[in-house]
Chains A and B, each alone.
Chain A
Amino acid sequence: MSAHVDFGRRALVLRRGRIAVRLPFRPLVVCAVLAVAIAGMAVLALMTGSYQLTPGQVLSALTGRETGIVHDVVVDWRLPRVAAALVFGAALGVSGAIFQSLLRNPLAEPGVIGFSQGSYTGALIVILLVDGTYTQLVGGALLGGMATAVAVYVLAHRRGVQGFRLIVVGIGVSAMLESLNTWLIIKADLDEAMSAAAWGAGSLNGVSWDRVVIGGACIAVLLLLAGVANRPMRQMELGDDAAASHGIRVAPVRLGLILVGVALTATVTAASGPIAFISLVAPQIARRLARTAGITLAPAALVGALLCLASDHLAQHVAPTPLPVGVITVVLGGGYLAYLLFTEVRRRP
């Protein structure tokens, strides 16, 4: 038979009927290991709490062989939170991966186009000025985030949207909103300011089955769209001209990807408040583990899920007092940012 292309990395080639795919080994193995780690972490999270369980009890509760208190603790109390951490973490990981691929920048995430600050502004306005219900708060946050993202996109638009200009405009608009948010909190009375800050930290407290199911359904659809757009997205990492000459309609694909990326983060924000930094960190950790060229979505999703689950576990059970998960992810993200800056400085003396 004919010779094979040496990609420098071993891969599994599947050719059968209409299917012909090449799956590099290392990302496959990394994904498998991550899946096992996630399963282990999930069992640990389901065991832990004021009512301690054994792994066996957890597994039999999950397979429906337990009744009474064990079933209630695992399935009704703890599982929604674990499922939320997994699904939301995966969504954040993919959202960040999309933005880092599009903007070709390891510091990119939906926050760079102002989404996070904008949604916080929206939530603050609802909490402080309208004194609204939870639903209104979510609506305000989504509206604020989306409006900011659209404003940044439009302001950065000149003969199409270019990554660098989007980042610069995003940073400017975010800085403005951040000072607006600070001003709003200073103006508020103490109770309102505290509930605003609690929402703003991002927490899985009080996440119920219905929120997980609704959020999960939205996220499933969005992840499917991201999966379909994965190949054009990776092709666009070669530059707009190269991608266009390979038959990609660059402008609509980019807009579509931005929408999917923002919608993923928006869904998570709606259900749990803004959980910071997972979208920033997960794609980069995934890329280093899987050693792929550019950004790939599946490892980023799995790393995001594992990070979110582990952070929530730390926040609930390891911290001296239960904390919102967002506090832990901020610490993780800060450490990662420091590491990134440190290695960048070392690389360019």
Chain B
Amino acid sequence: MSATPSAARLRVESATIGYDKRTISEHLSVEIPDESFTVIVGPNACGKSTLLRGLARLLKPSAGQVVLDGADINSYKTKEVARRVGLLPQSSIAPDGITVADLVARGRYPHQGFLRQWTDDDERAVLRAMRQTSVTDLSGRLVDELSGGQRQRVWVAMALAQHTGIMLLDEPTTFLDITHQIELMELFTDLHQVGHTLVAVLHDLNHAARYGTHLIAMKDGAVVAEGAPDQVVTAELVEEVFGLRCLVVPDPVAGSPQVVPLGRDRTRRESTTHA
């Protein structure tokens, strides 16, 4: 946790963010605690991806500002922002015929120049990123030939090779099966533990509560609640934010709050009761 609230490296100050004429969030103020694994949750179209795009400087607030390291993020040179904040976009495209190492190396772009394209530092950063994401053995393979889970790890490696303290993850687990989802969440936990500040948009509340250290719940473009998962994930809040009646019980393995939807009466089995 940061010492004083205003000292957070990345924060949003009463910003209005949206697309062209459509405003998604007004007077939005959010902080990303340093060295946290922050997860933004909320129903579809609540503005969580919009917030992430604002934090990544992909969207410019029409009022207010996004502050990075004490200055308006729009006052930096684009490459400077790219050396401090990384992004794993929701959809990326691997060029035809690209190998894993080549794709990971593309993450080094903000550190390179016209004549400085492949330094020792670049090589070290790429090796480390591939090791951290366990894709070293795939290094020379074509990205087209990989499975969905492997491919997503390669994209994470590319973002890691960028070597930024802060990493933004836009729905990183969406297209993966459950095993690869868990594998990826655990990879993020590892990265968080070695000092990365992570900000993820996730759909799965249980993953958010289990792996996140700081939750931001959004609805209709505004922040409804934020704080530690234990405080944020309550039955009342889930009903308020998602309109879903549910029971919140401790996850039997991790102890984090777990959301169990109540659903309609007939979805319950005869023998099951709840307090």
Residues of A within 8 A of B (CB): 2-9, 13, 15, 18-22, 104, 159, 228, 231, 234-235, 237-239, 241-242, 244-249, 287, 291-294
Among A2, A19, A237, point to the contact of B95 (Cβ < 8 A).
Answer: A237
Contacts A2-B124, A241-B58 given; does A7 touch B109 at CB 8 Å: no
Give the shortest distance, in Å, between A162 (CB) and chain B (any CB). 13
A9 touches B109 (CB 8 A): no
Q: Which A residues are in CB contact (< 8 Å) with B56? A: 241, 244-245
B82–A247 touching, CB < 8 Å: yes
- Which partner residue on chain A sits nearest B118 by CB separation? A22
Residue pair B89, A241 in contact (C-beta under 8 Å): yes
| Chain B hits for A292, CB < 8 A | 97
Interface of A (DSSP majority class) = loop
A245 x B115 contact (CB < 8 A): no
Pairs A–B under 8 Å by Cβ, sample size 10: A3-B127, A5-B139, A159-B20, A228-B114, A237-B93, A241-B89, A245-B162, A247-B82, A248-B109, A292-B97
In the bound assembly, the distance between CA atoms of A159 and B140 in angstroms comes to 38
Contacting pair A20 B109 (CB below 8 A): no
Task: Give Cα distance in the complex from A6 to B90, angstroms.
Answer: 27
Q: Judge whether B206 is part of the interface by a CB distance below 8 angstroms.
A: no
Size band of the interface chain B makes with A: 35 or more
Contact between A242 and B82, CB atoms less than 8 A apart: no
User: In the complex the two chains form, is A246's CB within 8 Å of B20's CB?
Assistant: no
Cross-chain contact B123 with A5 (CB below 8 angstroms): yes
| Distance of A128 Cα from B135 Cα, bound (Å) | 64
A98 to chain B, nearest CB (A): 15
What residues of chain B lie closer than 8 Å to A19, measured between beta carbons?
A: 115-116
Of A4, A6, A13, the most chain B CB neighbours within 10 A belong to A6
Identify the closest chain B residue to A228 (Cβ): B114
Write out the residue numbers on chain A whose beta carbons fall within 8 Å of the beta carbon of B77.
Answer: 247
A2 to B: closest C-beta gap in Å: 7
Report yes or no: B99 in contact with A20, Cβ–Cβ below 8 A: no
Contacts of B105 in A (CB 8 A): 5, 7
Q: Which of A3, A5, A242 contacts B92 (CB 8 A)?
A: A242
Contacts of A237 in B (CB 8 A): 93, 95
A contact residues around B99 at 8 Å (CB): 7-9, 293
Which residues of the other chain, B, contact A241 by a CB distance below 8 angstroms? 56, 58, 87, 89-92
Query: B85 to chain A: which residues have CB within 8 Å?
Result: 245
Residue pair B116, A20 in contact (C-beta under 8 Å): yes
6 other A-B residue contacts (CB within 8 Å) besides A22-B117, A245-B89: A5-B123, A6-B101, A7-B102, A21-B118, A228-B114, A238-B93
Tell whether A238 pairs with B94 under 8 Å between CB atoms, given A2-B124, A6-B140, A159-B20: yes
Cα–Cα distance between A15 and B119 once the two chains are bound (Å): 7
B175 interface residue (CB < 8 Å to A): no
A7 touches B140 (CB 8 A): yes
A21 to chain B, nearest CB (A): 5
Instruction: Report the bound CA distance from A246 to B89 in whole Å.
Output: 11
Chain B residues with CB under 8 Å of A239's CB are: 89, 91-93
Q: A21-B117, A246-B82 are in contact. Are A293 and B96 (CB under 8 A)?
A: yes
Contact check, B89 vs A242: say whether CB atoms are below 8 A apart: yes
Q: Is the CB of A18 within 8 A of B116?
A: yes
Q: Which residues from A are CB-within-8-Å of B106?
A: 235, 238, 246
Which residues of the partner chain B approach A287 to less than 8 Å between Cβ atoms? Answer: 96-97
